Amino acid sequence: MSSPVYLDHAATTPARPEVIDAIAQQLAVVGNASSLHTAGRAARRVVEESREQVAAALGAGPSEVIFTSGGTESDNLAIKGTFARRRADDPRRDRLIVGSTEHHAVIDSVEFLVAEQGARVDWIEVDSEGRADPEQVRALIERDPASVALVSLMWANNEMGAVQPVAEVAAIAHEYDIPFHTDAVQAIGQLPVDFAASGADLLSASAHKFGGPQGVGLLLARREAQVVPLTHGGGQEREFRSGTLDVAGIRGLAVAVQLATASLEAEQDRLVALRDKLIQGALDAGLDIEITGPHEVGDVTRRLPGNAHLRVPGCDGDSLLYLLDAAGIECSTGSACRAGVPQPSHVLLAMGIPEDDARGALRLSLGRTSGDADVAAFLEALPAAVDRARRARTASRGS
């Protein structure tokens, strides 16, 4: 049996061989980076060298790099921690302005604050391509600037790949002295990410999305950023995030981000060519498939180069996913964090897509190991899977 075709790189992408080697080497060495003896200082040196490498790759200062367990923790720390600090300084700051198509790590953090901390939230609407208008953010702020604790808008969407105008939104937030956070989990490795140039005050990322290990990530936080920690203990990471540092994971993250950013331009060109071939092949298959989100051949400014999001009318996305999986094609219907949840995507609903159409969604995400053969295999398997999924849906609705 041939190996499955993996087209779910947005959920996680394979660790690079160099990363695996670096982690294995570090795991063979004892040392807690908070210890003061020789082994501890050696571990600390690995952490700080990794911090410098990450900072250089992402346009940040070393002191602005906070290591975490991944994107979810980074989002929670940025949203909850900033809200707590800003409201403690001024009780009037009880309002959050947040993208309506964010990952659930952001949305659920916001909803927790609404339910448990009395926060109010204004959701940034998106257009039919899933993109936000910066001037809408300005209008939301101007309702009552003194009440806004934080503005948060993701860099690029994890489901349908739309790239957001983060620099413009950050600039508007700063006109009113409001901190700005962006979830850049999907952006690093596919788009140029420069923390200083973006204007963001806080930026979340996760190593396993760009060839690093699972379970380690980072929060870039400007030196003046003030965040109440979610965990307390040893006061590590500028006292933002206490806990014993994952030295091997951090080393792997640093190697991954260096490699991903060094090969970015060539990888962008390669991925966008594959993406466009996949999309055009699906549209030409005579299956009435529609593309979700912004799409122009060769474009990498409005859509992630490795993202193809299709809507297949007359199908349930989960059925289509299982049929493709049985044919050796591994993909998804949306965020892996919400897999198995029997609800249409909030991202697609926010774009104005009818609920019935949203249920037929399919996300194909390409990565470093993807090639022409993978695209060809998907396009070959697609018609039969769609036919069976449509017949199954018709039968279930007729029963």
- Sign of the torsion angle spanned by Cα atoms 53, 56, 58, 61: positive
Residue indicated by tokens 């087209």: 7
DSSP code at position 162: B
Residues across the chain: 399
| 81 within 8 A of 237, measured Cβ to Cβ | no
Could you say which of 56, 171, 337, 379 is catalytic? 337
Q: Please provide the DSSP assignment of 349-389 as one string.
A: HHTT--HHHHTTEEEEE--TT--HHHHHHHHHHHHHHHHHH
- Map residue 246 onto helix, strand or coil: coil
Look up 331 and say whether it is catalytic: no
Q: Are 67 and 241 in contact (CB under 8 A)?
A: yes
> What's at 212, amino acid-wise?
G
- Decide: 181 and 200 in contact? Cβ < 8 Å: yes
φ, ψ (nearest 5 deg) of residue 209? -85, -15
Torsion of CA 21, 27, 33, 34, to 10 degrees: 160
Please tell me the distance from the alpha carbon of residue 260 to that of residue 264, in angstroms, as a whole number: 6
Q: Which residues are catalytic?
A: 337
